[in-house]
């Protein structure tokens, strides 16, 4: 019995060692098996990569004698209308009506956009020609019709139409903005001042600043911010127009409820004009004083030494009651101001009439709308610079629109009465009142 008690611990120890040995052997076998499987998978993956590489090299080196390319992920559409009708049978009037520009301007535009829009054919499908991509986008901008309609017309998918519009608008802004939508040179400023004087009868003025509302679909968030003073949803843009009716500064994409003053203060135009960037150095003389050139602005803008706006009806009546003859000079100023402001109105009317996506509700995504507005302003300048004909009947499409441009209330800030900018602005505006009260100008009126 005593011997068995002595052997029992030894037996337990032997049993534990045998079990541990068996477990170690099983773990080693499992690890070896997993390593073999891993190596097999790795070798299979390596062989698959080699096989795919050989197939790609073979496909690149093989040149098919036929001109047939498969399009496995698209359906073949009819392109006869574009290839036969537009490219060969369209008359100059057709180009002007459908694309809002002449054939020469169209191909000039395609040449300018080629570095960003050109695509190459592949063995799976033909690339959409550059001219067709530009035409699809222009058709959308000019007519604002549905993607589905343009899709059937040009023989491309609806998603392709959407992509063409995005790509072309971005290319126009990227490549043409530095040339056709930039701050004017000193010579261009002088030319604009001469045009305002000769055409509109307003001296010492180089441009007009206005706002443009573009109707949009209901956004997914912050809907109230996009309701403009007339109650419909829009994005508002600020545009500066020179004496030739061309745009040289555009600040696009603000919610429709944004005050014009807020847009102006957040634009590069405010910083440039406040620092005297719109006038040569030294400033030219006006009424015997050295005075920087001025811009004309809507009632919603603040009065500044470089930004003039018309007197309100209340300002006219109050001055007439208190100081008599001063009210007459303010009315003369307002008459000349309204005449000169007509230049900005004409430019905006031509812009919206030429590109219907700005006069009708724009159904594009909200992130694309600002780029479309900039692209339309640039295209307007391109057409005007090339002397493309503008048809008067296009105006009727704008005047019949469902969304007339809303008005803005008088600015509350920053030029409140008593501030230095407001007082300097009043002094400058008084100079213009004195100028328009000269006998020879009154006889012209």
Q: How far is residue 291's CA from residue 271's CA, in Å, rounded to a whole number?
A: 18
Q: Could you tell me if 125 and 246 lie in one domain?
A: no
Residues 231, 171, single domain; the answer is: no
Pairing of strands 205-215, 234-241: antiparallel
Which of 179, 198, 230 is where one domain is finished?
179
Encode the chain (445 residues) as per-residue pLDDT tens digits. 666 777 777 787 888 888 888 888 888 888 888 888 888 888 888 888 888 888 777 766 554 444 444 444 344 455 677 878 888 888 999 999 999 999 999 999 999 999 999 888 777 777 889 999 999 999 999 999 999 999 988 888 899 999 999 999 999 999 999 999 998 888 999 999 999 999 988 999 999 999 999 999 999 888 999 999 988 999 999 999 999 999 999 999 899 999 999 999 999 999 988 888 788 888 899 988 899 999 999 988 999 999 999 998 776 555 554 454 567 888 889 999 999 998 899 999 999 999 999 988 888 889 999 999 999 999 999 999 999 999 988 888 776 666 678 865 554 444 555 578 888 989 999 999 999 887 766 555 5
Q: Are 240 and 249 in contact, with CB atoms under 8 Å apart?
A: yes
Domain end (from 163, 179, 195): 179
Q: Are 374 and 181 in contact (CB under 8 A)?
A: yes
Do 135 and 191 have their domain in common? no
Last residue of a domain, one of 130, 163, 179: 179
Does residue 341 fall inside a structural domain?
yes
Rounded Cα distance between 423 and 420, Å, is 5
| Structural domain includes residue 128 | yes
Could you tell me if residue 9 is inside a domain? no
In a domain, 74, yes or no: no
What distance in Å separates the CA atoms of residue 391 and residue 338, rounded to the nearest whole number?
25
Tell me: do 166 and 215 sit in the same domain.
Answer: no
**Cβ-Cβ contacts under 8 Å for 259 (sequence gap 6 or more):** 300, 408, 411, 412
**Co-location of 225 and 347 in the same domain:** yes
Residue 290 domain flag: yes
Helical (H) or strand (E) element with 273: helix 268-274
Residue 327 maps to a domain: yes
Q: What's the CA gap between 37 and 242, in Å, rounded?
A: 75
Token digits of residue 198: 């000769």
Our count of domains for the chain comes to 2
- Does residue 313 share a domain with residue 260? yes
Whether residue 153 sits in one domain with residue 142:
yes
Distances (CA, A) of 220 to 155, 256, 365: 32, 15, 10
Domain containing residue 304: 182-363+391-401+423-437
Among the listed residues 225, 250, 246, 186, the one whose alpha carbon sits nearest the alpha carbon of residue 380: 246
Please state, in angstroms and rounded to a whole number, the distance separating the CA atoms of residues 402 and 389: 26
Nearest-angstrom CA–CA distance, 5 and 244: 117
Residues 92 and 213 in one domain: no
Does a structural domain hold residue 52? no
Contact (Cβ atoms closer than 8 angstroms) between residue 366 and residue 234: no
92 falls within a domain: yes
Q: Are residues 204 and 349 in the same domain?
A: yes
Domain co-membership, 122 together with 196: no
Residue 129 and residue 142 in one domain: yes
């Amino acid at each position: 019995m005593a011997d068995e008690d002595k052997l029992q611990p030894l037996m337990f120890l032997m049993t534990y060692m045998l079990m541990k040995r068996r477990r170690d052997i099983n773990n080693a076998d499992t690890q070896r098996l997993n390593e073999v499987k891993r190596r097999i998978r790795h070798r299979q993956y390596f062989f698959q990569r080699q096989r795919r590489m050989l197939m790609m090299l073979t496909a690149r080196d093989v040149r098919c004698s036929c001109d047939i390319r498969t399009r496995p992920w698209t359906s073949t559409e009819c392109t006869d209308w574009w290839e036969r009708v537009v490219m060969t049978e369209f008359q100059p009037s057709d180009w002007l009506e459908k694309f809002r520009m002449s054939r020469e301007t169209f191909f000039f535009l395609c040449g300018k956009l080629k570095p960003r829009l050109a695509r190459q054919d592949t063995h799976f499908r033909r690339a959409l020609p550059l001219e067709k991509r530009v035409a699809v986008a222009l058709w959308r901008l000019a007519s604002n019709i549905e993607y589905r309609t343009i899709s059937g017309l040009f023989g491309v998918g609806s998603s392709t139409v959407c992509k063409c519009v995005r790509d072309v608008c971005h290319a126009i802004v990227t490549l043409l903005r530095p040339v056709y939508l930039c701050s004017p040179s000193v010579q261009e400023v002088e030319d604009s001042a001469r045009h305002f004087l000769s055409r509109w009868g307003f001296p010492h003025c180089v441009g007009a600043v206005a706002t443009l509302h573009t109707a949009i679909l209901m956004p997914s968030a912050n809907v109230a911010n996009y309701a403009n003073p007339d109650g419909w949803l829009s994005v508002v843009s600020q545009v500066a127009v020179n004496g030739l009716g061309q745009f040289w500064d555009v600040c696009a994409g603000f919610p429709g409820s944004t005050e014009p003053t807020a847009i102006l203060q957040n634009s590069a135009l405010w910083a440039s004009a406040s620092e005297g960037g719109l006038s040569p150095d030294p400033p030219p003389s006006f009424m015997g004083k050295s005075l920087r050139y001025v811009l004309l602005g809507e009632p919603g803008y603040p009065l500044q030494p470089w930004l003039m706006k018309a007197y309100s009806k209340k300002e006219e009546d109050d001055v007439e009651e208190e100081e008599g003859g001063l009210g007459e000079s303010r009315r003369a100023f307002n008459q000349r101001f309204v005449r000169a402001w007509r230049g900005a109105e004409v430019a905006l009317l031509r812009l919206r009439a030429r590109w219907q996506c700005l006069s009708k509700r724009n159904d594009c995504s909200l992130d694309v709308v600002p780029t479309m507005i900039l692209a339309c302003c640039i295209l307007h300048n391109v057409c005007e610079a090339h002397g493309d004909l503008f048809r008067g009947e296009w105006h009727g499409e704008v005047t019949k629109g469902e969304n007339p441009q809303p008005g803005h209330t008088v600015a509350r800030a920053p030029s409140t009465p008593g501030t230095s900018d407001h007082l300097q602005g009043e002094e400058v505006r008084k100079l213009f009142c004195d100028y328009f009260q000269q006998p020879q100008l009154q006889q012209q009126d």
